[in-house]
Structure 1
Amino acid sequence: MVFDQDRLRERIEKFLAAVRQQYRVERAMLYGSYARGTPHDGSDIDLVVLSPDFKGIPKLERHQKLGWIAWQAETSYLEPLGFTPEEYDSADEFGLIGEVRDTGIVVYEAEPAAVRETPTVYSTERKTQGMKVVIPLAGFGTRLRPHTFTKPKPLINVAGKPVLGHVLDMFANLPADEFIFITGHLGEQIEQYVGRDYPQLKARYLEQQEMNGQSTAVYLAKDYLSGPMLIVFVDTLVETDLSKLANETADAVAWVKAVEDPRRFGVALVGADGYVTQLIEKPEDVTNNLAVVGFYYLKDSQAFMRAIEEQIAGDIKTKNEFFLADALQLMIAKGMKMRVQPVEVWEDCGKPETVLHTNRYLLDHGHDNSRGVEVGDNIIRPPVNIDPSAQIHHSIIGPYVTIAAGCQVHNSIIRDTIVDQGATIQNGLLTQSLIGKDARLSGRFRVFNVGDSSEVGFE
């Protein structure tokens, strides 16, 4: 059997990214024939996952849940076992064990406790050290009002967590030195959320006071940047393998997707050599439909800061705003090699209808928790994501419903809807709806006595 360690790492990291949607992962350890580098046909990928969240969950149930996640993540031959860190530290010898770290897959040659100080490196060191991730999120989210009157757009809930949470989960496979959040409207809520739910991140918060474009937002991070950087906008969610940046050779990367109407986006024109020749923000011409999805990688962050300075000094704007595409175009004109990275999935979170579409997609792809929902006197139609603390009685829920913590739902029928924390719904008939935090919604079911071939409608 030919042993492909890169393919092995991809499978493990894809699985761990899926696990982190539900559990905190402290460590993940490979053991058995794959850890030794000597798998044979039919060998399983034996992986031990350590999480403090497993405390109180029976071991068999943990293993079954991890196995289900592995199956959903399409990580073939992966056989995961779940333990708490305390259980692992006090366990007897596991045998030959490896650990998935930022530096690759580390193999232990004996009982874990005896060799923690001198592990043997199995794969090459990754090259993303020094990476800074800049996340601009200072916008007002006007298209999502009234919800964004009281919370910033990145904290809109989809499929069980805020949009920002889904974005941050993407970086499970990409070690980053620091996350720089460019905040504005209700920015303190962003700080509270990241500090509470992602305490492991080294985070810095900078406030954008003048709303005059993407470039000026990113430029606020200038004094904290050196080396490579990623720029990520949270209006949209994409599916991409960021771990490949470890071996990136281009000067820059723009993630793209073909769309029917590119006029709302920036587009990339690609030459015969595969590199971008021109970036155009909000083009009038729809001939080129390769839209940039709001993800950029730059190998030299300070060179990009100088390009923004040149852009601002020259007052280079599109529709009266400083866009990143114009600053990047200055660098392309001077010889920067930027390639594009196509994505298959690009979900928008900028309008109510697109938020609901994103919720549907995520529930269809790994965020359905209907198997663990206590049905009681209700009917649950998957996929749904229902927080365990929600109280639901005499109701029909689903498909495509997200109900957050502390909600109360009674005598209601709900489908294709997102219900935020603490909301109460009584006698409701809801579809394609967004219900805000602590909202109270009550209605009444009508009683009809309708004869054959009748037609009744309501405006």
Structure 2
Amino acid sequence: MKAIIPVAGAGTKLRPHSYTQPKALMPLAGKTVLSIIIDQLREGGINEFVFIVGYLGDKIFDYVQAKYPDIQAHYVHQPDRQGVGHAIQMAKNIVNNDEVVVVLGDTICEYDVQAFIHNPNSVIGLRKVDDPREFGVAEVDENGVIEHVVEKPHIPKSNMALVGLYKIKESEQMFSCIENNILQGLRSHGEFSLTDALDCMIRAGVKFDAFKVDTWFDCGRKETMLESNATLLKKFGADKMEYQFENTVIIKPVSIGEGCVIKNSIIGPNVTIGDHTQLDYSIIKHSIVGNYSNLYDIVLEQSIIGSDTALRGESRTLNIGDNTSIDLG
């Protein structure tokens, strides 16, 4: 079994960070979105991955090669983003009709990985949401079998959202449905959707079981990413980590990367700080700070600060990308 992880998306809702960093590599509770996905799938026994990359794909390649040198990794470049279905189709020759697991590159869920992978049928991960209009939506019968899926319906007939987690036994049929949709120009919301291909398979008689995930973390927007960071810090045991820095108060949970120099500051709660970052005379809470950044005399709350960033002065709420220098004094 192989895993396909599309990470070619531009991450427009996380700009300016996604201009210089793929959203799958954004720091989150001492990890990255991508590392959480890979770790879960490896726990399920998967060791062969196909990464669909695009803009900044070299950063995905470098990260995977450095952190996961023992996995079998393939990289497929998607220069023209035309939707998730189009991205998946580009992996056809590598998959070679094997069973596949597809996990979207901004999808973090808590779920029973073994039960998901070893389900005898194809499976779609679902989670009940208050407003399903921004998601793919599944209609499920009383036996837990999916009858219909539709991408971002204007009038949803269900509140069960597709979370971006799929196991496909009939991969040959999936690729055939995607190819037919592309040849016929059948787009949803301007893109070739994986959801449309799955509905094509359902209409052809393929059985998809509904698989309800325990928790779904939204990592596509600043506000929900900060909420996810706070939840995952507790899940990954950041409240048990011990840190000692000069004249600094740590309010758990926090995750502080390697090689950081922190002085005269208050850090936490719910803060992730990347590697080799320097902070002095600063107060940081409910925020994410990237790698190799330098913050002096700053007050931050509900903020995301990119990597290689220098900040001096005082602020309350910021959303700043990589390679930035700002003096707020």
Letter in 2 for 1:399: P
Counterpart CA distance in 2 for 1:401 and 1:410 is 16
Q: Give aligned pairs, total.
A: 314
* Residue correspondence of structure 1 range 228-307 to structure 2 within 5 A: 228-245=99-116, 247-250=118-121, 252-307=122-177
CA distance in 2, matches of 1:149, 1:315: 30
Q: Does 1:372 align with 2:242?
A: yes
Task: Give 1:197's match in structure 2, choosing from 67, 70, 83.
Answer: 67
Letter in 2 for 1:170: Q
The CA distance in 1 between the partners of 2:86 and 2:105, in whole Å, is: 17
**Is 1:317 the equivalent of 2:187?**
yes
The one-letter amino acid of 1:211's match is R
| Correspondence for 2:217 | 347
SS across alignment from 1:372: coil
Q: Is the 8 A contact 2:140 2:146 kept in 1?
A: yes
Change (3 A) 1:209 1:175: same
Q: In terms of Rg, which structure is larger? A: 1
Q: Which amino acid aligns with 2:243?
A: V
Cα shift at 1:168: 0.9
Q: Does 1:134 align with 2:43?
A: no
Contact 1:262 1:282 (C-alpha < 8 Å) held by counterparts: yes
- Secondary structure in 1 aligned to 2:228? helix
1:357: how far off? 1.0
Q: Could you tell me how far apart the structure 2 residues matched to 1:397 and 1:427 are? A: 13
Give the alignment of 1:173-192 within 5 angstroms. 173-192=43-62
Distance (whole Å) between structure 2 residues aligned to residue 273 and residue 408 of structure 1: 55
SS state at 2:37 partner:
helix
Residue in 1 that maps onto 2:252: 382
Distance in 2 (alpha carbons) for counterparts of 1:189 and 1:165: 13
Q: Residue 135 of structure 1 contacts residue 179 of structure 1 at CA under 8 Å; is this kept in 2?
A: yes
| Offset of residue 428 of structure 1 | 0.8
CA contact (8 A) 2:117 2:167 kept: no
Residues 29 and 236, structure 2, Cα contact 8 Å, conserved in 1: no
The superposition leaves residues 36-78 of structure 1 with CA deviations (integer Å, 9 ceiling, x where unpaired) of: xxxxxxxxxxxxxxxxxxxxxxxxxxxxxxxxxxxxxxxxxxx
User: 2:266 and 2:117 mapped to 1: Cα distance?
Assistant: 47
Q: Which amino acid is 2:111 matched to?
A: T
In the alignment, structure 2 segments of 5+ residues that lack a partner are 316-329
Q: Determine if contact 1:254/1:339 at 8 Å carries over to the other structure.
A: yes
Aligned-residue offset at 1:360: 0.5
> Residue 160 of structure 1 contacts residue 367 of structure 1 at CA under 8 Å; is this kept in 2?
no
How far, CA to CA, are the matches of 2:136 and 2:224 in structure 1?
19
How big is the shift at 1:245? 4.1
> Could you give the per-residue CA deviations for residues 117-148 of structure 1, whole angstroms, max 9, x where no partner exists?
xxxxxxxxxxxxxx010011111111111111
Contact 1:159 1:402 in 2 (8 A): yes
**Distance in 2 between the 1:401 and 1:180 partners?**
32
Instruction: Supply the AA of the counterpart residue of 1:239.
Output: E
1:287, distance to aligned residue in structure 2 (A)? 4.2
Question: Matched residues in 1 for 2:194 and 2:187: separation?
Answer: 10
- Separation of aligned partners in 1, 2:165 and 2:3: 10
Tell me, in whole angstroms, the C-alpha distance in 1 between the residues paired with 2:305 and 2:94. Answer: 39
Partner SS, residue 361 of structure 1: helix
Contact 1:206 1:220 in 2 (8 A): yes
Three-state SS of the structure 2 residue aligned to 1:248 is coil
For residues 180-201 of structure 1, the C-alpha deviation after alignment (integer angstroms, 9 at most, x for no partner) is 0000011000000000001111
Distance (whole Å) between structure 2 residues aligned to residue 266 and residue 259 of structure 1: 11
Root mean square deviation of aligned Cα: 1.5
Identity over the aligned pairs, expressed in percent? 38
**What amino acid maps onto 1:238 in structure 2?**
C
Letter aligned with residue 149 of structure 2: L
CA offsets 1:380-437 (integer angstroms, 9 cap, x no match): 1000001241111111110001111111111111101111111111111110111111
Q: Secondary structure at the match of 1:336?
A: coil
Match of 1:423 in 2: 293
1:370 to 1:376, Cα distance in 2 relative to 1, 3 A: farther
**Residues 180 and 205, structure 1, Cα contact 8 Å, conserved in 2:** yes
The two structures have a TM-score, normalised by structure 1, of 0.66
Give the aligned partner of residue 102 of structure 1.
none
| Matching residue within 251, 258, 275 for 1:405 | 275
Aligned partners of 1:370 and 1:396: how far apart in 2?
18
Measure, in 1, the Cα distance between the counterparts of 2:170 and 2:131.
32
Picking from 67, 71, 78, the partner of 1:208 is: 78
Residues 255-294 of structure 1 deviation map (CA, whole Å, 9 limit, x = unaligned): 0000000011001001233211100100111441100000
Q: CA deviation at 1:242?
A: 1.4
From 228, 245, 248, the counterpart of 1:358: 228
Aligned mates of 1:354, 1:245 — CA distance in 2: 25
Helix, strand or coil for the counterpart of 2:238? coil
Q: In the superposition, relative to structure 1, how do residues 396 and 299 fare at CA in structure 2: closer, same or farther (>3 Å)? A: same
Give the conservation status (yes or no) of the 8 Å contact 2:292–2:307. yes
SS in 2 for 1:340: strand
Considering Cα pairs closer than 8 Å and 6+ residues apart, tell me whether 1 or 2 has the greater RCO: 2
Distance 2:314 2:185 in 1: 58
CA contact (8 A) 2:107 2:165 kept: no
1:154 aligns with 2:24: yes
